[in-house]
Amino acid sequence: MKRPILPLVSCLVLVAACRGEPKSSSATAAHAPTPAEAVAERVMNTLGGRSAWDDTRCISWLFMGRRRLVWDKQTGDVRVESGDQVTFVNVHTRQGRAFVKGVEVVDEAAKASALEKAYGAFINDSYWMFMPYKLRDPGANLVLLGPRETKAGRAAEVLELTFDEVGLTPGNRYLVYVGMESGLVEQWDFYEHRADAEPRLSTPWNAWKRFGRIQLCTDHGDGKDWEIAVLDRPPSGAFEAPGPISIR
């Protein structure tokens, strides 16, 4: 099944995370959490907590065996490796550099196209990685639909996730299954249009593992090793040269 580009609303909250801006409505909300917000907070606490996520500096992963990304959350710099192309793009400025087979792209139109593709890849691939950390970000609306079972037959509380009029695809909708025992996201259903009766895709979030102070999902049912690494600092030369880098 073709994987969709996920809603660009996620771009707004991920960029805010890079800048150190308020990332959770809980940081400023004076009201008691709604039932849906309480479930989302349980997820965050199970993952390691808000401060652990905020303090995580650099993350590298291989998206479904197709693209390798390195993200410096502190600066917003991203490295995207796809085939024989390596692109550096900053998610704040959307500026950067692109290389094909080690040769820098200097044609302005070709460079702009490469940067836009890399930026879009980051938006898509990072939401697959970090969505559970973003449930209470500004612009994200949560409704608790109640208990249901995942496709694996596990009991879960289901959150409906929609978005305000932000980004390019605010009409998307998700159902997020939070395991009653685990407190972790165990499945999501993606609806391309909010009114759709059936999801476009439904995939598991399995094999959660601890990396440093946080947890990340290592299995979306694709049978691939996402080669996740959480680093104290970016690898040497990660955003400077297109050659191989050492991820440790």
Give the pLDDT confidence score for residue 203 in this predicted structure.
97
pLDDT tens column, 47-96: 999 999 999 999 999 999 999 999 999 999 999 999 999 999 999 999 99
pLDDT lower than 70: segments of the chain: 1-30, 165-169
Residue with tokens 């693209």: 67
Contacts 24+ apart (CB under 8 A), 178-183: 178/39, 178/42, 178/43, 179/150, 179/154, 179/155, 180/147, 180/154, 180/155, 180/156, 181/154, 181/155, 182/46, 182/208, 183/42, 183/43, 183/45, 183/46
Which distant-in-sequence residues (6+ apart) come within 8 Å of 46 by Cβ?
182, 183, 184, 215
pLDDT tens column, 160-173: 999 986 555 678 89
Q: What is the CATH number of domain 9-19+34-231?
A: 2.50.20
Give the pLDDT confidence score for residue 169 in this predicted structure.
63
Q: Can you list the alpha helix ranges (DSSP code H) found in 6-153?
A: 9-19, 35-47, 50-55, 108-130
Give the pLDDT confidence score for residue 171 in this predicted structure.
81
Give the pLDDT confidence score for residue 241 in this predicted structure.
94
Predicted TM-score (pTM) of the model is 0.87
